[in-house]
Amino acid sequence: MQFFLFHLMPYADLDLSAPDKYDSAWVTLPNTYYDPKKGHQLYNRYLDELEMGDTLGFDGLCVNEHHSNAYGMMPQPGVLAGSLARRTKNVKIAVLGRALPLINNPITVAEEFAILDNITGGRFIAGFVRGIGAEYFSWNVNPAFSHERFHEAHDLIVQAWTRPGPFAFEGKHYNFNYVNLWPRPYQTPHPPIWIPSQGSTETIEWAAHSDRRYTYLQTFSPVTALAKYMAQYRESAEKQGWQASPENLGWAVPCYVAETDEIAMREARPHAEAFYQKFLRMPTEMLLPPGYLSLKSMQGVMRAKAQMQSGDKSLEAVMKSGMFLCGSAKTVREQIVRYQQEIGFGKILTMLQFATLPHDLAVKNMEIFARDVMGEIRKMDAAPALAAVK
């Protein structure tokens, strides 16, 4: 199993009454709640935490893109990835990902990712997403064209990376007379492509297509959903005539490890609950603007809305559903190994700082996780291979 350290870079100093007052931590939460002096501290602190991931032996570091919110302060993730590219030596660096439909010129992403791939000498992993619904309000991009723009931007970027330029690109949303990328990516034919998603049939089938075989990442979902979507990916691959391996599947999950189960829960509680109850807060209309989901999926959501409960977001509830891993190293290790055996993912992307979790606890979490969870699982992974050699 491969271990990645994922960071959202939240605005940890957020006045936690604000998302309730504005019914959202996104789009309409006034940026007067943001203090640049605290922001200066936070960005540097978070980059330190990610850089620690390199020395602690993680396989990769992950950043991502979100706009106009307190949940994740990386609207331009290439800036953060660029900083990490020079300060790290061994780890992979993944941008998971750029929200392609938001961008009016996808060539900027092809360029940005190619530069990162060149600087790191091929330590770069490219992620493509559609962004979450709220971002279609913030960037005023039409959600009804989200799928069209995602696919077209993807095609343009991959062609820019792989086709000798200059060539013309003739699309509906994007048109170029001269696509001619300088620099070309370092890796051949291009950096690995990962597709993070909350799980949609369209996305899974697209990622599992035999022409693409992109790594599929399930983000922040209950374990039942994780199992369902990963099975769907494997079935989809099989129908296309290829066998998906654990390498193709990853799970992104927030996690807190401490000396005992009790300490872990006590230390994580306020921060985990702030994550689910405050930083992720937004109305359904903001989360799912019209056209963001397929018509059929959206009709299903709206029909079910009457029966939908507000959803219990207590620490106990998110732990029970597997949306949050929390406990002693032994507890968390056993949980990951069991899920891994049942579900068959080959990559785990743990978010070890979340919401308001302070630096000292984030560092303690990272150190215990690296040594007693990641380290121990790696030994277990190596054991069968060693046995086979002997």
Nearer to other proteins, 132 or 193 (CB): 132
Q: Using CB under 8 A, pick the residue from 166, 290, 311, 358 that binds other proteins.
A: 290
| Residue 133 phi, psi (nearest 5) | -50, -40
Q: Using CB under 8 A, pick the residue from 96, 114, 286, 343 that binds other proteins.
A: 286
CA dihedral over 310, 316, 320, 322, signed as positive or negative: positive
Tokens of residue 163, six digits: 């086709």
CB of 153 to other proteins, least distance (A): 17
**Measured distance CA(168)–CA(113) in Å, rounded:** 21
Rule CB under 8 A: is residue 171 a binding residue for other proteins? no
Q: Round to the nearest angstrom and report the end-to-end CA distance of the chain.
A: 22
The stretch among 13-21, 105-113, 283-291, 378-386 that binds other proteins (CB under 8 A) is 283-291
Local structure of 271: helix, strand or coil: helix
| Residue 172 phi, psi (nearest 5) | -90, -45
Q: Using CB under 8 A, pick the residue from 298, 337, 361, 363 that binds other proteins.
A: 298
Rule CB under 8 A: is residue 44 a binding residue for other proteins? no
Nearer to other proteins, 263 or 301 (CB): 301
Whether the Cβ atoms of residue 129 and residue 62 lie closer than 8 Å to each other:
no
Rule CB under 8 A: is residue 121 a binding residue for other proteins? no
Rule CB under 8 A: is residue 122 a binding residue for other proteins? no
For residue 182, is it left (φ>0), alpha (ψ between -120 and 50) or beta? beta
CB of 138 to other proteins, least distance (A): 12
**Measured distance CA(181)–CA(159) in Å, rounded:** 10
Whether the Cβ atoms of residue 156 and residue 169 lie closer than 8 Å to each other:
yes
Nearer to other proteins, 295 or 380 (CB): 295
The stretch among 58-66, 106-114, 204-212, 298-306 that binds other proteins (CB under 8 A) is 298-306
Q: Using CB under 8 A, pick the residue from 22, 34, 43, 145 that binds other proteins.
A: 145
Nearer to other proteins, 137 or 251 (CB): 137
Q: What is the 3-state secondary structure (H, E, C) of 172-229?
A: CCCEEEEECCCCCCCCCCCCCEEEEECCCHHHHHHHCCCCCCCEEEEECCCHHHHHHH
Rule CB under 8 A: is residue 291 a binding residue for other proteins? yes
Nearer to other proteins, 302 or 382 (CB): 302
Helix pair angle (223-239, 329-343), 10° resolution = 30
Helix pair angle (36-55, 359-368), 10° resolution = 10
Local structure of 322: helix, strand or coil: coil
What's at 291, amino acid-wise? G
The stretch among 73-81, 241-249, 262-270, 296-304 that binds other proteins (CB under 8 A) is 296-304
Rule CB under 8 A: is residue 137 a binding residue for other proteins? yes
Nearer to other proteins, 55 or 284 (CB): 284
Rule CB under 8 A: is residue 22 a binding residue for other proteins? no
Rule CB under 8 A: is residue 283 a binding residue for other proteins? yes
Rule CB under 8 A: is residue 29 a binding residue for other proteins? no
Size of the site for other proteins (CB under 8 A): 20
Local structure of 93: helix, strand or coil: strand
The answer to whether the peptide bond before residue 222 is cis (omega within 30 degrees of 0) is no
Rule CB under 8 A: is residue 284 a binding residue for other proteins? yes
Nearer to other proteins, 61 or 141 (CB): 141
Q: Using CB under 8 A, pick the residue from 53, 97, 143, 254 that binds other proteins.
A: 143
Nearer to other proteins, 27 or 366 (CB): 27
Rule CB under 8 A: is residue 295 a binding residue for other proteins? yes
For residue 167, is it left (φ>0), alpha (ψ between -120 and 50) or beta? beta
**C-alpha dist (Å) from residue 261 to 209, 252, 254, 268, 269:** 41, 21, 16, 11, 12
Rule CB under 8 A: is residue 25 a binding residue for other proteins? no
Nearer to other proteins, 136 or 354 (CB): 136
Nearer to other proteins, 79 or 302 (CB): 302
CB of 30 to other proteins, least distance (A): 16
Q: Provide the binding-site residues for other proteins, judged by CB under 8 A.
A: 136-137, 140-145, 283-286, 289-291, 295, 298-299, 302-303
